[in-house]
Amino acid sequence: MNKEHNGLSKFIFMFVFLLLITYSVIIIYPLLWMIISGFKTNQELFLEPWGLPAKLLWSNYKSAWDVGVGKFFVNSLFVTSVSVTVTLFISACCAFPLSRYEFKGQNIFLLIIIGGMMLAPQVSLISLYKLLQRLKIYNTYWALIIPYIAFRIPFTTFLIRSYMLSLPREIEDSAYIDGCTSWRLFWNIILPMCKPIMATSALLAAMSVWNEFMFALVFIEDSTLRTIPVGIMNLRSTLSTNWTILLAALTISALPMIILFIVFQKQFVRGITQGGVKG
């Protein structure tokens, strides 16, 4: 490579690198602004939207928590953990025969389960609302948990099944010779081997349930049962122009997922790239 060429490609590299950095700033800055502004007084925010707070006002975070975020947080924690646990269990049970058994109509069952991935929750909003009322669970935690489980099963089953298909079968064969029942084969032998994909599925399910908005808006009426996304939406009107407390509330709501993502990035990436479905 001659020198001139080298200089040129260095220049291009620097230019592209600068663009990438600029884009990073566009992503990070609003998030940083959210966190920092949560420590400011309202006046500081007005006068100097860019500036740093004179002193860190932890009381904003405290007020946000007390004014409702604490309650919503606990609700979200409950709804998310129940939904994720049940989804994982049911999906793993379903993936087991779909990856191991040979029976007539297997493909039809597979299609019914996986086909659910193609159907948008928006389409079912009206009829689910009515169905949940008829089942007498409208405006309870179950009005969220049950639809969340149903809409997570297709993708979770898909993920776990692909993983099970890739597992070696020798161990099961010897277990079978030892007279293992199908349940013990599943529970004691196959499931423990599926830990990595279970972790990935749990993270993705937790993320989608924690962030879900539309069902939470329509299927819950009682403000004490609200999960975080709808809860903070209502806080906006309660807090009216108390911007900095609202920003503190937003930070509290976003942090669990940001932390989970940074810690378990590898698991997130694996799941998302296998499924390629959004939201």
Distance (Å, whole) CA 58 – CA 248: 9
Q: Looking at 52, 55, 213, 238, which residue binds another protein (CB under 8 A)?
A: 213
**Is residue 123 near another protein by the rule CB under 8 A?**
yes
**Is residue 210 near another protein by the rule CB under 8 A?**
yes
**Is residue 84 near another protein by the rule CB under 8 A?**
no
**Is residue 129 near another protein by the rule CB under 8 A?**
yes
Q: Looking at 75, 88, 145, 154, which residue binds another protein (CB under 8 A)?
A: 154
**Is residue 13 near another protein by the rule CB under 8 A?**
yes
Do 114 and 151 touch, CB atoms closer than 8 A?
Answer: no
The region of 59-67, 77-85, 124-132, 194-202 touching another protein under the rule CB under 8 A is 124-132
Which CB, 122 or 240, lies closer to another protein?
122
Tokens 């009381």 — which residue? 59
**Is residue 191 near another protein by the rule CB under 8 A?**
no
Binding residues for another protein restricted to 26-45, rule: CB under 8 A: 26-31, 33-34, 45
**Is residue 46 near another protein by the rule CB under 8 A?**
yes
Q: What is the dihedral of CA 150, 155, 157, 158, to 10 degrees?
A: 150
Q: Give one word for 48, left, alpha or beta, with left for phi > 0 and alpha for psi -120 to 50.
A: beta
Do 175 and 185 touch, CB atoms closer than 8 A?
Answer: yes
**Is residue 49 near another protein by the rule CB under 8 A?**
yes
**Is residue 166 near another protein by the rule CB under 8 A?**
no
Which CB, 74 or 112, lies closer to another protein?
112
**Is residue 98 near another protein by the rule CB under 8 A?**
yes
Residue 1: CB minimum distance to another protein, A? 12
Q: Side-chain half-sphere of 90: how many Cα atoms within 13 Å?
A: 16
Which CB, 199 or 218, lies closer to another protein?
218
Q: Side-chain half-sphere of 18: how many Cα atoms within 13 Å?
A: 6
Residue 13: CB minimum distance to another protein, A? 6
**Is residue 144 near another protein by the rule CB under 8 A?**
no
- Give pairs for 222-226: CB < 8 Å, separation 24+: 222/139, 223/68, 224/71, 225/75, 225/139, 225/140, 225/141, 226/71, 226/72, 226/75
The region of 56-64, 77-85, 192-200, 242-250 touching another protein under the rule CB under 8 A is 242-250
Q: Where are the alpha helices (DSSP H) in 101-120?
A: 106-115
Q: Looking at 6, 7, 16, 238, which residue binds another protein (CB under 8 A)?
A: 16
**Directed axis angle between helix 195-211 and helix 142-166, to 10°?**
150
Q: Greatest CA separation found in the chain?
A: 77
**Is residue 104 near another protein by the rule CB under 8 A?**
yes
